[in-house]
Amino acid sequence: MGGQVLRLQDVAVRRDGAALLRGIDWTVHEDERWVVIGPNGAGKTTLLQVAATLLYPSEGQVEVLGEVIGQTDVFDLRPRIGLASSALAERIPQDEKVIDLVLTASYAIIGRYSEEYDSNDVTRAVELIDMMGAAHLIRRRFGTLSEGERKRVQIARALMPDPELLLLDEPAAGLDLGGREDLVRRLSHLAQDRRSPTLVLVTHHVEEVPTGFTHGLLLRHGSVVAQGPLDHVMTADNLSRTFGVPLTLDRSAEGRWYARAY
Ligand SMILES: Nc1ncnc2c1ncn2[C@@H]1O[C@H](COP(=O)(O)OP(=O)(O)O)[C@@H](O)[C@H]1O
Ligand SMILES: [Mg+2]
């Protein structure tokens, strides 16, 4: 067990009288790979925004990378945290080239640039794009990419500043079956690589949980249903309670999960 990357104590988030999150206690250690699973509206994105220091909780204490939020300058913390989400993807200019999009991540900006890039940065960007299976797309403009290609490029971008924590909000959303399987396989490799940052992956499909992920937090109506090592958390009973429907759960020989209603 490595150091603590995230520590939430009794965290609540309220907006316009609605409790988006409540009573969240959650600790993530360095070498862990977490999935956050829950139905639409459960509060998954809200939880990720708290972890990304983009949202300050209404109650409770949040520690990210050893710093207490509210007692530290979040602008020093944010470069140490990678985030990929569809909300961020929408802000990417359509005419941005893939290589530039990944390179500019070192400078935490989106859009056209005038900086001179270090050749080490260029090498790293190319390696990350290649690792995500997008080497052939390097000169393409973001707007011309398929949904799956966009997700992979976005993850390369999020990895570019070598973050200590990588947060992925529904990276497989909108992908076709082939695209999903390709992404899940790459995330599985990332999870199993000891040099990877601490990972937190949000999804509402258990089929999207890559092998190599170690822990799970199940969320419903802003509260934790269960959390801990995936082997303990992933039960038909826990998932049924999380999604509010009776579910059966199977696991393949490779360690992938499959759920269906009965
Ligand atoms: N500004 C807001 N005011 C009130 N409710 C909100 C606001 N933003 C989000 N919500 C609600 O909070 C709940 C949790 O949202 P979210 O974290 O995006 O869930 P998830 O990512 O699990 O789908 C949803 O029911 C959503 O409608
Ligand atoms: Mg969401």
Nearest-CA residue for atom 17 of ligand 1: 43
pLDDT of 96 higher than 60: yes
What pLDDT is stored for residue 7 in this prediction?
98
Residue whose CA lies nearest to ligand 1 atom number 27 = 41
For ligand 1, atom 4, name the residue with the nearest CA: 15
Cβ–ligand 1 contact at 46 (below 6 Å): yes
Rama region for 6: left / alpha / beta (φ>0; ψ in -120 to 50; rest): beta
Specify the 3-state DSSP secondary structure of 188: helix
Domains, the chain, in order of start with CATH, read 4-86+163-261 (3.40.50.300)
* Alpha carbons 221 and 42: distance in angstroms, whole number: 5
Look-up of token digits 């269960």: 226
Q: How confident is the model over 20-47, as a mean pLDDT?
A: 97
Distance in angstroms (rounded) separating the CA atoms of residues 118 and 140: 21
Does pTM surpass 0.75? yes
Mean pLDDT, residues 97-122: 76
Distance CA 230, CA 206 (A): 11
| Spacing, Cα 19 to ligand 1 middle (Å) | 9
Cβ atoms within 10 Å of 125's Cβ, excluding its own: 25
CA-closest candidate to residue 230, choices 259, 260, 261, 256 = 256
203 lines ligand 1 (CB under 6 A): no
Other beta carbons within 10 Å of 140: 15
CA of 215 to the centre of ligand 2 (A): 19
- pLDDT score recorded for residue 89: 85
Q: Which residue has the CA at smallest separation from atom 12 of ligand 1? A: 20
Q: Please state, in angstroms and rounded to a whole number, the distance separating the CA atoms of residues 227 and 244.
A: 17
166 Cβ closer than 6 Å to some ligand 1 atom: no
DSSP percent split of the chain into helix, strand, coil, nearest 5: 35, 30, 35
Distance CA 104, CA 119 (A): 13
Task: Pinpoint the alpha helices (H) of the chain.
Answer: 44-51, 74-77, 86-89, 98-103, 119-131, 147-159, 177-192, 230-233, 236-243
> Which atom of ligand 1 lies closest to the CA of 38?
22
Mean pLDDT, rounded, for 163-184: 94
Ligand 1 centroid distance, CA of 222 (Å): 9
Q: Closest Cα to atom 25, ligand 1: which residue?
A: 41
Residue 42 CB–ligand 1 contact under 6 Å: yes
* C-alpha 84 to ligand 1 mean position (Å): 18
Confidence of residue 196 (pLDDT cuts 50, 70, 90): very high
Residue 228 β-bridge partners: 216
Q: Are 103 and 121 within 8 A, CB to CB? A: yes
